[in-house]
Amino acid sequence: MQKLFTAPLYVQIREEIFAALRSGRWSTNEPLPSETKLASEFSVSQGTIRKAIDDLVAQNILYRHQGRGTFIRRHDEQQSLFRFFNLAREDGSKPVPASVNIHCKTRKGLKHECSALGVATGERLIEILRLRHLDHQPMILETILVSQQRFPDLNKRDLPNTLYELYGDEYNIHITRAEEQVTAISADINVSGHLKVKAKTPLIEIRRIAFDLHDQPVELRISQCVTGPYVYACSLN
């Protein structure tokens, strides 16, 4: 006899709410229905809804504001600049990054790029190359790759400093998490020119894959950074 497994109620409801979020049932600007309303909609107690929402808050997908309601996390200018930005000063404070676009074009994706983005090999990608300044010094050379099919006409837009805000507002693609891999590289002539350092200066290269609500890889971003005054900071728990 096979053993049956039923997920706890709050897990089922968490997934139902999550699915509703992905389907765009609720607007980004209004609060979700209140906990008591959701409780009667799903015919469970308020405590169970609460636990389901707790999980989504812990995942950074929703946030609560006492007295106002529960809202969908949006990437807005202030937080987005820092939430996915791990470079800090040695004392732990974070500089405000500024961006200068160098080019934005479309091209066929290489095999490893397409596989990282989960699209068919050879699909057309949009490539954005930009230079980022910290405290007015060029510090990061950033190559951003996304599928042209997922982001039609992205290359024809004005690109803001915080791209994830644009992805959400214009394409309804919400970045929820990212994975980064850091390696040490040697600056080649091209890179060193942009970053105003000597050729062969050691740099860190950060390879980031950003994922959306469906946990699909959406963006591949490769950042080559000068370190020294700034460090790549990470907490372990």
Partner DNA sequence: TAGTGGTCTAGACCACGAC
Partner DNA sequence: TCGTGGTCTAGACCACTAC
Residues of this chain that interact with DNA (CB under 7 A) are: 8-11, 31-32, 34-37, 43-48, 50-51, 64-70
- Between 92 and 156, whose beta carbon lies closer to a second copy? 92
- Between 148 and 195, whose beta carbon lies closer to a second copy? 195
Furthest CA-CA distance within the chain: 70
Say whether residue 237 binds a second copy (CB under 8 A).
yes
The first and second tokens of residue 43, run together, are 């015919």
Choose, by CB under 8 A, the member of 121, 186, 190, 216 that binds a second copy.
186
Q: Which residue's entry shows tokens 């949009």? A: 126
Shortest distance (Å) from residue 92 CB to a second copy? 8
Say whether residue 159 binds a second copy (CB under 8 A).
no
Say whether residue 93 binds a second copy (CB under 8 A).
no
What residues contact 143, with CB distance under 8 A and at least 6 apart? 127, 128, 129, 221, 222, 223
Residues 22-81, interacting with a second copy (CB under 8 A): 59-60
Shortest distance (Å) from residue 11 CB to DNA? 7
Amino acid type, 179: E
Closest CA to 201 of 138, 153, 117: 138
Let me know the angle formed at the C-alpha of 214 by 212 and 215, rounded to the nearest 5 degrees: 65
Question: What is the three-class DSSP state of 173?
Answer: coil
Angstrom distances, CA of residue 121 to CA of 60, 112, 155: 32, 8, 20
Q: Which of DNA, a second copy, none is residue 204 near (CB under 5 to 8 Å by kind)?
A: a second copy
* Partners of 222 in the β-ladder: 143, 207
Q: Which of a second copy, DNA, none is residue 112 near (CB under 5 to 8 Å by kind)?
A: none
- Between 35 and 148, whose beta carbon lies closer to a second copy? 35
Q: Which of a second copy, DNA, none is residue 36 near (CB under 5 to 8 Å by kind)?
A: DNA
